[in-house]
């Protein structure tokens, strides 16, 4: 029988977090934005009500705005 102690659980969590952080730093850029107080919650609520995460919504909004911008540049 294997007994997992609290120390083992913490070690596993730390290792898992470190691995995820290492992967994220290699695979993604970080973009910090500022919005008016209270706006974050309303944006998050809007995204959630449309089946998206806050991050997914922001990424989609950026992609769509950039696509519209490409069309305007070609006119």
Q: pLDDT tens digits for 28-58?
A: 999 999 999 999 999 999 999 999 999 999 9
The residue with greater pLDDT, 40 or 3, is: 40
Closest C-alpha to 60, from 29, 39, 68, 37: 68
Instruction: Give the pLDDT confidence score for residue 72 in this predicted structure.
Output: 76
pTM of structure:
0.66
> Is the pLDDT assigned to residue 12 strictly greater than 70?
no
Q: Whats the size of the chain, residue-wise?
A: 75
Give the per-residue SS3 of 16-65: HHHHHHHHHHHHCCCCCCCCCCCHHHHHHHHHHHCCCCHHHHHHHHHHHH
């Amino acid at each position: 029988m294997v007994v997992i102690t609290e120390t083992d659980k913490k070690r596993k969590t730390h290792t898992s977090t470190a691995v995820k952080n290492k992967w994220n730093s290699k695979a993604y850029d970080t973009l910090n934005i500022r919005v008016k107080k209270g706006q974050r919650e309303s944006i998050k609520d809007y995204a959630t009500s449309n089946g998206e995460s806050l991050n997914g919504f922001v990424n989609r909004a950026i992609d769509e705005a950039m696509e519209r911008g490409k069309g305007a540049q070609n006119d």
